[in-house]
Chains A and B, each alone.
Chain A
């Protein structure tokens, strides 16, 4: 029996493919990673099928690469050692929307578009990273710890309890969903931690190497009743950070985002390429976007007190910063951006790919005060590689009171040009090393970042490997990723 035959015994025939044109679609993605071919694609419909496939793979020592989205930016799902693509596309049910407990339970294949449309109907939302791709798996984006644009929730991430199929093929529910009989239980699955250990931590950031998460519970929030979007044009990044250090601990704003002219132009441009050049040239070096919202109760009063506070701070301490409801010279930007911030990316071509066809993102967690230093490090290295600084996109996402931030550099390139790709790959590696030496913290070590970081974090890598060996003794789960 061929692999295909054996797998057809587990899932239905229609859910197993090994035609070349199907395989090739999984062999590459929008990252700089080299391609790698799988041997077969399996599309399970239930957790039991997932478990059976994983068990089969374990018995036969065949790698399994879990895939939950149709678009991939970081190379995680490119098979490094062949094997089976476990595509969760058929497991795309929104299992439950619980408005009272403000949570939703979704399968791995549920996309941002799907979820936001459904929640919209009920005036609810899930907090989002910046402009997620509409066809990306919501579950996976949270597993991979995308950073939300909303800074005001102290509890940060929305993940709650989940179900995972371990590499040994066991179906396991982590968190409060672990009670016997869930969801027919008093437990609603809102607690991610436990039982015993915090299992969910092991699958976060794991790039599919620790198991296959089949569904998860997520927190959802009420939609604000009023939104005021404000903009500030800021030349100096350090000054922008001073302002954020001042206002964010006072719990101001819902979404707070800092974008440089390149990234913002890429986001706003409708007519390519003319509008892009104009926008890029005209936009300020940095645009700070703050959404002040009124919530369910007395929304006008909430907006009023936040605006009053902001006004006082700017009058007394930041006279050089003007927060206005429209960026001067850019009519309609407010409405446009507000809509963009609350929905997945609306267009066919992803925002990062509109300009040159592809973009490589280098991102990490940083202390906000260090971001000007990181900016100059990357600019220096980029310049040395001949990468035009006018084409360097930057995005800073403040986190929880500005205790830290996600800092992201976007390098745009033509995906058909091998030399450009090579240049950016090298540039990015060198920049990453320098950034790491200067205090940047890479929590999502995609591609080349893995080796750079695990070498430095030898102790961590060693402990990680020991844990990995317990859960995946044969290293069948997405081998070649991270340090595995």
Chain B
């Protein structure tokens, strides 16, 4: 594993019993005790996730706002300082380069959070698109560590370590705050469907901050949670994962993320023409979510069948919902078939896919 990249918390994880695996070239904790138990702890109380592998990018300059509105599909002009925006950024054909968060710090000062596995590709893409704009793009990924505290008790845990008034920071807003003596960008965002904060901070402070959060959180039910629980939590919440529900050949419209595509924002953003065509034609394929009522996990790449047994799509993500106690997942299906009966074959057993409009559970995010 010596060639894998490490976050500043790699030894912290090992000392806390983590099982470390290769995730997108990073040596990351997939679990500490049990994926299912960590998942339940987040829904019940709170979980602490190291997501320092995520990439951070500064976009600064007089052309920053205009550039970002050209780059992404959502409407950056709606942002104000302290506001966060979730958005895909697309290729000219409407396929997705990555999905990201855009933070507005000031009129010409923005900050992006991008997926770990896409950092190099994204930076090359962003630089190439930026050529015509008066903007400076800087990779800050190595400077920042990122800890996510998620769950119904998350805000109280973070609040116990800071003088900042966190109840004033609403969902998809952020503030600068000192948490346990560590300067942070405290962002009320997450990838679990629960309330919580994502704390960006200097890489050198990560061990001190993680230790303080764990100590403050344990009496309130907080547990360390790995990427295994992060994946099952995001799927229960119906959030896309790049490379699964969003990809170079899966547009945000195909993924039912039309709310992130502002065709009428008054800017000819990258991918707009293709997305207009897809919007008007309805699109040939569609991402659907399903549950099965059965505990057998329907794994990614499993063929999806229609009532005649013909293959009409493939599974994108699948896991066992630890809360519902049944298999849940997503699939990419030919649009005409999506409204009909769908099934998969697991080791000779035909299992019906019951359509679900996510989230799979009522979510507590505020």
Is B one of A's binding partners? no
